[in-house]
Amino acid sequence: MSGRIPAVVLGGTGYVAGELLRLLAGHPRFEVRAVMSDSQPGEPIGAAFPHLAAIYGSACFRAQSDVEALLTDAPQSALFGAAPHGVSARLIDAMLTVAEAAGTRVRAVDISADFRFRSSDAYQQVYGHPQGAPRRLAQFSCAVPEHLAELATPHVAHPGCFASAVLLAGVPLLQLNLSAPQLFVSGVTGSTGSGRKPVAGTHHPLRHSDLYAYSPLAHRHAPEIAACIHGATGVAADIAFVPHSGPFARGIHVTVQSALARRLDTAAILSSLREFYAGSPFVRVLDTPPRVKDIVASNYAHLSATSDGRTVAVMCTLDNLTKGAAGGAIQWMNRLFGLAQTEGLTAPAPGWT
């Protein structure tokens, strides 16, 4: 495939959309043609994202009708859904419907939760409102790119940022029969994981120099993690998840613990992880515990593990906005268009953030 591929971003004013725009600005094949915002159509992109003003110049957010027109004019397009849960499904369904009517080829990667479950009932049970486009659910697969070698659907639902970290750490344990199907997860996330709209949990004076759990053993990501683990391994895992708010803006650190299925030392666990991810360019298995600063603003995930012979602990760090959202979505979109999954994503973390 030659030439530039038009890219459209929905939900254009949020943190994830901003990260998509940053990454796509340096992508060799995808070219941003439209950024949709219901709240700020006609407003400059650079006003919402001053750090991107030098790149996007006088370009403005577009209304839904403008984006739909672009999708019907271009023979093929990449559609990134960065709208909120409960909104994204309706928007993506509208975009795909007009593209289908025009006979154009659109591939969608949604970063919201709207297409992560296989049934609308499962979605409504967790999110408390109807899924916006139930007829589209069968057209989406939900997994991290490292866990689905063959993609059987035209579109993808990227797992959430916490889910991505837990899946990268936990799936090898279960798929390789290294541990029991009960995973105990403790995770810490940066404040950008709560979105751009200020709320008490992300207000800087409250979050700075503090660390606290929220929704312990009752977080909505736990059913999504369990569903993705079952899809990747066939195992009905029991997930005990305790998320924490960390005093930093970007990054996630999770520790996944489980009872070992047989006696294994640390070296054996690390060897198994390295073999499992041998063909995964964005996953690095370290001898020492991973650190958030080493992955911030990159699409890389760092893993490590330790064992006392009875219990295993696998640690994973990744950037919630990049590998856990925008970068992972671009990694999927690369695959949907037959590109190398690394296109536009190999820049290392800046360090010393």
Under 8 Å between Cβ of 336 and 151:
yes
Given the residues 60, 142, 161, 228, the one annotated as active site: 161
Instruction: Classify the C-alpha dihedral 248-24-117-113 as positive or negative.
Output: positive
Under 8 Å between Cβ of 186 and 217:
no
Dist. CA 11–CA 81, nearest whole Å: 7
> Locate tokens 């299925």: which residue?
261
Angle at the Cα of 247 from the Cα atoms of 244 and 251, rounded to 5 degrees = 75
Under 8 Å between Cβ of 27 and 20:
no
Dist. CA 5–CA 18, nearest whole Å: 19
Say if residue 278 is exposed, middle or buried (CB neighbours under 10 Å; 0-12, 13-18, 19+): exposed
Asked about 161 being catalytic, the answer comes back as yes
Angle at the Cα of 107 from the Cα atoms of 103 and 111, rounded to 5 degrees = 145
Rounded to the nearest 10 degrees, how much is the dihedral formed by the CA atoms of 195, 199, 202, 204? 130
Dist. CA 202–CA 192, nearest whole Å: 8
Give the residue numbers annotated as catalytic, written as ranges.
Answer: 161
